Structure 1
């Protein structure tokens, strides 16, 4: 183990995370740029950032194209996921390192989706693209030349995903905790339409009845890294979102709530957390869906 790896392991262990192995620091990534057993994937909210410059060797995940079903509002199926991994030269033994902008919104979204299809060797680069750039680490415009691989995905693990029927059925369940990770203005219904996101529109504003308002960004430090386990436990525990509860997270389309899903399951070790990716674009448009403001 190198000095950087020892430092990273020590920092993560001291953080008190349930699964410290899912995080790596920028220094660790910098040391592994030539490691053939690793595939670095950039997943951004701003899909143009990759072309401006990316970590050497990283491939681009475009969420508008690569992982979306071409007809239904859904993700790619098992076979198309296998084709995507194969295109990127990923095998079942490859360690995937995910990073992106917006404090790793879409990196965590990707982690969640890849987990559903059974890939276990994954890490998030703590601090994401912002931290890499702040440290003036190398960026390139060169697209890596990759030899396709053979990849075998598992059938989608539906236990990680919640649907509207699940949310409706759980509204009268006292053991269920709904976590609304949007901004306070979205939660109250003051903000219905987000100008820069017309594809995320809804007819009504507000929140799902009983949902706790815990904005996703409260889990992040100013530099985009994750807060310590002690701080995170205080944030969620103060809203009665505890490990013994069944938890469902949501936002507008599922990306910010996947970030919170990652925090709760991987950093805090909550055993029963699902991401409702239909989120407010579905709930706020449903006929007769119950809403609170």
Structure 2
């Protein structure tokens, strides 16, 4: 994968967003922004209501994902362009879902909603409906997903990248400062993890930094590009952004997203935890 295959810019979206076979999708946890105005023709995905299982702590399964995309009018062979707020946090998470379920052509709009609005591009409040399709998701590709036991076993042997804020990493906060401090039972980070906040990969306008800048960012932090890499955050959305950078932009073939993230790990019984600003020992 390369930048040209994984990203489109806002000019491309303005020119091709209404082309046959192209589907624009806005993805957010809070969809009030979409309701107030979205890119013309973009369908809405609510990360929590549409993409999370209503009972288990997991995302929707293959059958649920197929039914969702069929209902939203997305076909297996469509070029799906995802965008959203927060510099594409939840759009990147959805991108990871699409990849996990085998969609062949999915892209992120570089800069997301922020870049579109900074350039005062037009927004529409018109309700978007598309003809129902018959979407068939593939079996999940768990080579891009890390689970609990693999993460515990990775301590000291694989590159663990904690993409949360320094205060979350150190254990001073359990969640971003603007959110309730809840969910995990303990603060801190997985021992030997390096802290590279997801936002360091983005420019002020929300677009991704250059490949050279990104490789330097992670290399200087101690990420081993020749070994296996696991990214995590609190619930998996910010680490999806970092997974996208490492695998889709930089072409690393060995990157997994730990979507259980700190909400799971910080509540496990008996696992090692490091606190403070240093990675800690295995």
TM-score by length of 1: 0.90
Write the mapping of 1:195-234 to structure 2, written as runs, cut at 5 A.
196-198=178-180, 201-234=183-216
The answer to whether the aligner puts 1:113 opposite 2:113 as a matched pair is no
Pick from 67, 75, 83 the counterpart of residue 83 of structure 1: 67
Contact 2:88–2:111 (Cα < 8 Å) also in 1? yes
How far apart in 2 are the matches of 1:65 and 1:232? 33
Q: CA deviation at 1:23?
A: 0.8
The answer to whether the aligner puts 1:54 opposite 2:58 as a matched pair is no
Contact 1:46–1:101 (Cα < 8 Å) also in 2? no
How far apart in 2 are the matches of 1:122 and 1:86? 16
Q: CA deviation at 1:83?
A: 0.7
How far apart in 2 are the matches of 1:156 and 1:193? 29
How far apart in 1 are the matches of 2:92 and 2:191? 26
Inter-CA distance 199–157: structure 2 relative to 1 (3 Å threshold): farther
SS at match of 2:48: coil
Residue-pair matches, total: 275
How far apart in 1 are the matches of 2:236 and 2:248? 17
Which residue pairs with 1:9 in the alignment? none
Pick from 241, 264, 269 the counterpart of residue 287 of structure 1: 269
Deviating beyond 3 angstroms after TM superposition, the runs of 4 or more aligned structure 1 residues are 193-200
Q: CA deviation at 1:196?
A: 4.3
Which residue pairs with 1:240 in the alignment? 222
Pick from 106, 110, 118 the counterpart of residue 122 of structure 1: 106
Contact 1:23–1:123 (Cα < 8 Å) also in 2? yes
Write the mapping of 1:148-227 to structure 2, written as runs, cut at 5 A.
148-173=132-157, 176-194=158-176, 196-198=178-180, 201-227=183-209
SS at match of 1:237: helix
- State the Cα RMSD in Å: 1.4
SS at match of 1:66: helix
Which residue pairs with 1:35 in the alignment? 19
Q: CA deviation at 1:34?
A: 2.1
Larger mean Cα displacement after TM superposition, 277-286 or 196-205: 196-205
Inter-CA distance 187–229: structure 2 relative to 1 (3 Å threshold): same
Write the mapping of 1:128-147 to structure 2, written as runs, cut at 5 A.
128-147=112-131
Contact 1:203–1:285 (Cα < 8 Å) also in 2? yes
How far apart in 2 are the matches of 1:193 and 1:224? 22
SS at match of 1:64: helix
The answer to whether the aligner puts 1:96 opposite 2:89 as a matched pair is no
Once the two structures are superposed, residues 165-201 of structure 1 have per-residue CA deviations (whole angstroms, 9 ceiling, x without a partner) of: 111122242xx10000000010011112546434952
TM-score by length of 2: 0.94
